Amino acid sequence: MSRIGKKPVLIPEGVEALISGQKVRMKGPRGELSVLISPEVSVCLEGGCIFFNIRIPSQRARSMWGLARTLVFNIVCGVTKGFSKILDIQGVGYRAQVQGHNLQLNMGYSHEVLYVIPKDVQIVCTKPTEIIISGIDVQRVGQVAAEIRSIRPPEPYKGKGIRCRGEHVFRKEGKKK
């Protein structure tokens, strides 16, 4: 039995849920999201809660059971609160700023790197060394954060680069004489 799949997803006030077949659609104050659930899992809406059950008893169905519940929970959180990730920039002369629909990054290359901001994600630079990425889709926010981080990932000797807030970078010792 899946401990995650057994728990129902509570639908808060102000959120409208619609289930049609295997598609779950949520509409809330921050926007609208939908997710397609695997056919091995059944979805039903009863009294302000969404319940999940296995249709066919198999290992794959048990794996999809917890995944389906987590995906629906993420879209409920997205349309009510939203998601955000914070990236920190470390290095002398490394900085970022938002110019129109582009994120301009000076990362020690011979040129400035321009990252085009997607329509469904908001990016704010409160400080030149801090990038805040926010949106309603957790997968999209994480993907944008990974793309920006891949421009200059943190290196292990001096720790310079773009890292997620709270990320630990394993530091190596340099050459010895």
Model confidence pLDDT, tens digit, residues 3-58: 888 899 999 999 999 999 899 999 999 999 999 999 999 999 998 899 999 998 89
- pLDDT of 101 strictly over 70: yes
Query: For position 56, what pLDDT does the model report?
Result: 87
Percent of the chain whose predicted confidence (pLDDT) is above 90 = 85
Query: For position 5, what pLDDT does the model report?
Result: 87
* Shared domain check, 120 and 147: yes
State which residues form the domain around 62. 3-80
Q: Report the Cα 133 to chain-centroid distance in Å.
A: 9
* Shared domain check, 99 and 62: no
Residue 175 lies in a domain: no
* Shared domain check, 128 and 62: no
Residue 171 lies in a domain: no
Q: How far apart are CA 131 and CA 133, in angstroms?
A: 6
- The pair of three-digit structure tokens given for residue 37, joined into one six-digit string: 């659930």
* Shared domain check, 104 and 154: yes
* Shared domain check, 131 and 103: yes
Mean pLDDT on 53-81: 93
Q: How many domains does the chain have?
A: 2
Q: How many CB atoms lie within 10 A of CB 141?
A: 21
- The pair of three-digit structure tokens given for residue 169, joined into one six-digit string: 């970078």
- The pair of three-digit structure tokens given for residue 109, joined into one six-digit string: 């290359």
Question: Locate tokens 């939203």: which residue?
Answer: 82
Residue 173 lies in a domain: no
* Shared domain check, 34 and 103: no
* Strand 95-99, strand 113-116: pairing: unpaired
Residue 176 lies in a domain: no
Phi first, then psi, for residue 44 (nearest 5°) are -140, 145
* Shared domain check, 88 and 75: no
Query: For position 104, what pLDDT does the model report?
Result: 96
Q: How far apart are CA 158 and CA 177, in angstroms?
A: 18
* Shared domain check, 38 and 67: yes
Mean pLDDT, the chain, whole residue set: 93
* Shared domain check, 94 and 40: no
* Shared domain check, 98 and 56: no
* Shared domain check, 108 and 59: no
Mean pLDDT on 115-137: 95
Task: Select from 80, 101, 121 the last residue of a domain.
Answer: 80
Task: Select from 33, 49, 80 the last residue of a domain.
Answer: 80
Task: Select from 80, 97, 120 the last residue of a domain.
Answer: 80
